Structure 1
Amino acid sequence: MKKLLTSVVAILAVVAVLFTAQRYLAAKTGSGEGGSKVLNLYNWGDYIDPALLKKFTKETGYKVSYETFDSNEAMFTKVKQGGTSYDLAVPSEYMIEKMKAANLLLPLDHQKLTGLKNYDSRFLNQSFDRHNKYSVPYFWGTLGIIYNDKYLKASDVQHWDDLWSSKFKNQVMLIDSARDVLGFTLITQGKSVNDKSTADLAAAQGKLTTLMPNVKAIIADEIKMYMAQDEASIAVTYSGEASEAMANNKHLHYVVPSEGSNLWFDNIVMPKTAKHTAAAYAFLNFISEPKNAAQNAEYIGYATPNKKALALLPKSIREDKQFYPDAKTVSHLQVYSDLGQKWTEKYNDAFLEFKMTQR
């Protein structure tokens, strides 16, 4: 019995050693949840050059686990649920406000950030994140109108109200976004994209309903493909999506209406549940390097907030006012703020009712 007991103790000791070694190796290789060689990145679909992820891994040893979302709201819900411990996420400006209010973000240690000096001061210290306490700029852009000159003239589509013209019956494609579609409709009525008046929202919904005869489809990422393939003559979409479509069809052009539109910002944040903070800071510094930021901007097609990266881009890109609008145009643009749950639901309900009138 004594020999048996001794044998059992010896076996248990070996098992304990092996278990400890396994956990140590997991931590060293990043194969475990607390592994130091992993970066869990939560981003929009097709929103980073894949070559940069490989380069990051090669330079730092951190393997990137990349997951995507299709809306700020979906991202917020998943981060809040906490089922997956993302190290970095890429929300838009109004969602950063919401995540801060919900206590979902870690404040950034600026002493560990080496690249903030590379960014244009215009894109730092924004109202949604003063002093960039929680975020680092990633991309910025506008909402506008993309059109095909094979079917219409530039003079036909310079303003949001032009979308209501009878000449565009069953031709207009809209981005599937309550904030954006109701936003430009509010602008046509001289209102703010952050309006919280029941009467104003009802008036915007009423006007929007009269646009439906012109609506060909209400879709998301497919807009750039359909426009590139001449499937529609006109669409409302984001500047980066327009840029990608234009690269595949020389007849396409992008317009930001002079009366105003949305100026949006996507920034990188660190969720409170992040477990690989060293990897997160390594990535923030990597993506802030001018050469990497410039490569990413060329691949994605959106405007880079990285001033030193902009200088590395081809002249044809950095001087293209469709995607890098001048100060006068920017002065008429509006930034979304967090509407709060009550008004977000009101906007979503109004947009859903509009979509239900589609033939």
Structure 2
Amino acid sequence: MKKIKWVLAAVAVLGMMLCTGCRSGENGEIYVYSYGDYFDQEAIADFEDETGIRVIQDTYDTAEEMYPVIEKGTADYDVIITSDYMIEKMIHHKMLLEVDKKNLPALKNIDSRYMKKSESFDPGNRYSVPYMVGVSGIIYNKKMVGDVKIDSWGDLWNPKFKDSIVMPDSVRDDFMIALRLLGYDQNTSNEKEIKAAAELLKKQKPLVYKYANDSARDLLADGSAAIGVVWNGEYIYTKDLNPDVEFVIPKEGTEFFVDSWAIPKTSKNKANAEKFINYMCKAKVAKKNFDYLYYTTPNEAAMKLIEKKYRKEEAIFPTDETLDMCDTLKTLDTKTTDLYSKYWKEVKAK
């Protein structure tokens, strides 16, 4: 199913390229900078047809890659989408414009729970609008794990799964797991706690089959690994390939992300930027993007349009109780960042 969507997306992109000359763009243009393959291209084409605004897209792989482009003004983008901790950093450095909520009537569709969560990095929701949400958890093959009940980050230290565990290849994500297992704040700046988490990760390392990010889901889908860490949006894709996999959010709680739309201070067309953000908040558009990604949509109005089998799936739409156990990663000061880097190098070198 996902492959079919990729083919359709490719066809849509090709159609847009061939049709560039026929789109008049009578109402101007908008430059969008986003993570790659992060929304249905049909939605972009529909926005152009509806508004007459031509969309020019660029993509990046990581928020860290995006940041210097905006900071240095290498290119003038009207709209970006990026993660919570980076939104927080950009607000701190005065790199974003406030959104005018009067120009965002569809903002009412965003669930108040996620607006409240967003205030942890954007007080008052002044600079950002939630687009997609996700939680980190454990995906496992129920046949391969046997009679072991999977419900804790500690299960990733079970010797029974030696050479069958997939961990993130990411300093903050791995430390989040170890810190939560130890009962510490996932954003701690306490060196003793960071060191303790590193020691725990060192003990686990001989059990780990591979440290991986995007490929983790494929290793679980094809049976190369029994248990691993993924974002909840990868669950449906993986289960479509292997019906034996299940997803669980550990009882110790987990990392939670909010990816949001924002307008850089260098935007040349704020009015069109707000039209674009408002369009993405419309229920039918949010539903289309959910069908493309399977990540949690914070769009409450879109939920009514989503198939019931997905709405009832707690892996995709966590309960309030689960959300209460989740926190976003915070931007750390340079000294603390260096500490994590130092101990991560020790983990990987051992």
Q: What is the TM-score of this pair, normalised by structure 1?
A: 0.86
**Match for 2:278 among 274, 277, 285?**
285
Give the distance between the partners of 2:169 and 2:70, measured in 1 at CA: 23
Aligned to 1:270: 263
Aligned to 1:57: 48
**Match for 1:204 among 197, 204, 208?**
197
**Match for 1:85 among 76, 82, 89?**
76
Aligned to 2:3: none
Give the distance between the partners of 2:348 and 2:73, measured in 1 at CA: 32
**Match for 1:191 among 168, 181, 184?**
184
Give the distance between the partners of 1:86 and 1:225, measured in 2 at CA: 34
Give the distance between the partners of 1:56 and 1:207, measured in 2 at CA: 49
Aligned to 1:339: 332
**Match for 1:226 among 213, 216, 219?**
219
Aligned to 2:6: none
1:37 counterpart = 2:40: no
Aligned to 2:15: none
Secondary structure of the equivalent of 2:340?
helix
Uncovered stretches (5+) of structure 2, i.e. residues with no partner: 1-22
Give the distance between the partners of 2:175 and 2:162, measured in 1 at CA: 20
**Residues 287-323 of structure 1: CA deviation (Å, up to 9, x unaligned):** 1000110111121011111111111111111111112
Q: What is the RMSD of the two structures over their aligned residues, measured on CA atoms? A: 2.0
Aligned to 2:295: 302
Give the distance between the partners of 1:64 and 1:219, measured in 2 at CA: 33
Give the distance between the partners of 2:103 and 2:199, measured in 1 at CA: 51
Contact preservation (8 Å) 2:145, 2:161: no
Give the C-alpha shift of residue 335 in structure 1: 2.2
Distance change (3 Å), C-alpha of 1:293 and 1:264: same
Secondary structure of the equivalent of 1:298?
helix
Q: What is the TM-score of this pair, normalised by structure 2?
A: 0.88
Give the distance between the partners of 1:128 and 1:325, measured in 2 at CA: 20
Give the distance between the partners of 2:212 and 2:93, measured in 1 at CA: 30
- Partner AA of 1:144 in structure 2: G
Give the C-alpha shift of residue 88 in structure 1: 1.4
Secondary structure of the equivalent of 1:115?
helix
Number of aligned residues? 327
Secondary structure of the equivalent of 2:144?
coil
Aligned to 2:13: none
Secondary structure of the equivalent of 1:209?
helix
Aligned to 2:4: none
Give the distance between the partners of 2:264 and 2:147, measured in 1 at CA: 44
Secondary structure of the equivalent of 1:262?
strand
Aligned to 1:15: none
Give the C-alpha shift of residue 154 in structure 1: 6.9
Aligned to 1:69: 60
Secondary structure of the equivalent of 2:235?
helix
Aligned to 1:95: 86
Secondary structure of the equivalent of 2:143?
coil
**Residues 33-87 of structure 1: CA deviation (Å, up to 9, x unaligned):** xx96322222122211122122222222223222222222222222212201121
- Partner AA of 1:302 in structure 2: Y
Distance change (3 Å), C-alpha of 1:158 and 1:313: same
1:254 counterpart = 2:247: yes
- Partner AA of 2:102 in structure 1: Q
Contact preservation (8 Å) 1:243, 1:302: no
Q: More deviation in 53-62 or 191-200?
A: 53-62
Percent identity for Structure 1 against Structure 2: 34
| 4+ runs deviating over 4 angstroms | none
Give the distance between the partners of 1:73 and 1:88, measured in 2 at CA: 17
Contact preservation (8 Å) 2:164, 2:224: no
Uncovered stretches (5+) of structure 1, i.e. residues with no partner: 1-27
Give the distance between the partners of 1:39 and 1:293, measured in 2 at CA: 19
Aligned to 1:108: 99
Contact preservation (8 Å) 2:27, 2:51: no
Distance change (3 Å), C-alpha of 1:64 and 1:176: farther
**Residues 116-156 of structure 1: CA deviation (Å, up to 9, x unaligned):** 11111111142211221000010111010111123114744
Distance change (3 Å), C-alpha of 1:154 and 1:301: farther
Aligned to 1:17: none
Secondary structure of the equivalent of 2:326?
coil
Contact preservation (8 Å) 1:36, 1:276: no
Secondary structure of the equivalent of 1:147?
strand
Which aligned pairs between 1:92-241 and structure 2 lie closer than 5 A? 92-125=83-116, 126-153=119-146, 155-241=148-234
Give the distance between the partners of 1:120 and 1:228, measured in 2 at CA: 32
**Residues 261-294 of structure 1: CA deviation (Å, up to 9, x unaligned):** 1121111111111123232112111110001101
